Amino acid sequence: MKQLLLVLACAVLIPSLMFAQAGGSASNTATFNIGTPLTVAAGATPGDWGELAPGTTYTISADGYIVPPDVNGLTEVPQVVLWTITGQSGATVNISFALPPFFASATGANVPYSVNTMSAGWANTAFAAGTAYNPIDPRVVNSMTLVNNGVGGEADVQIGGILNVPLGANGTYTGTFVLTAQYTGL
């Protein structure tokens, strides 16, 4: 029994003595930067998909080709919907889109809009009709790599889509697109 009491006394007294010694604590901080801030900039001008005909379904590729040609016989849209993403060279970035379900007019009429697995795309430099690019499905999150542009990393993203222009459609129609980009792993 004496041994049991001795063990219990040691278990209680020894830690108590340790806290009775002089000492203290202090906090400190550290900081660091993670690469370069990621920015997403819309193209200098809004997208312009030309003059379309009522009763026609148009498919516009990410590089600006339009099938069938518009009413003026153009096979390329005047201006694609474009974003430029800049950030850390070599960084992987996830991108996602908020897409309009339709294009609307001031009269309240709508033109249905949809996409397929190749309606959007990205490239490491500005791309136009006939330029190679990486096709992506704008309905899902996609990954891309920012390539060195001499100052940091950069990539261009463009989107087209499918417009089902109903008979009787008339006027100017507008759709709003949002591109969100984020470094992976954050």
pTM over 0.75: yes
Written as one letter, the residue type at 133 is: Y
We report the CATH number of the domain holding residue 172 as 2.60.40
Average pLDDT, the chain: 83
Higher-pLDDT residue of 29, 89: 89
- pLDDT tens digits along 22-63: 666 565 655 445 556 778 888 888 889 999 999 999 999 999
**pLDDT of 141 above 60:** yes
Mean pLDDT across the stretch 129-150?
A: 90
Full domain range(s) for residue 24: 2-183
Between the alpha carbon of residue 162 and those of residues 34, 59, 100, 167, 171, the distances in Å are 39, 4, 11, 16, 18
Number of domains in the chain: 1
Place of tokens 């900081």: 31
Mean pLDDT across the stretch 75-84?
A: 91
- pLDDT tens digits along 168-183: 888 899 999 999 999 9
CA dist., res. 83 & res. 7, Å (int): 73
Higher-pLDDT residue of 177, 149: 177
Residue 30's pLDDT is 58
Between the alpha carbon of residue 150 and those of residues 62, 84, 89, 120, 143, the distances in Å are 25, 15, 9, 26, 22
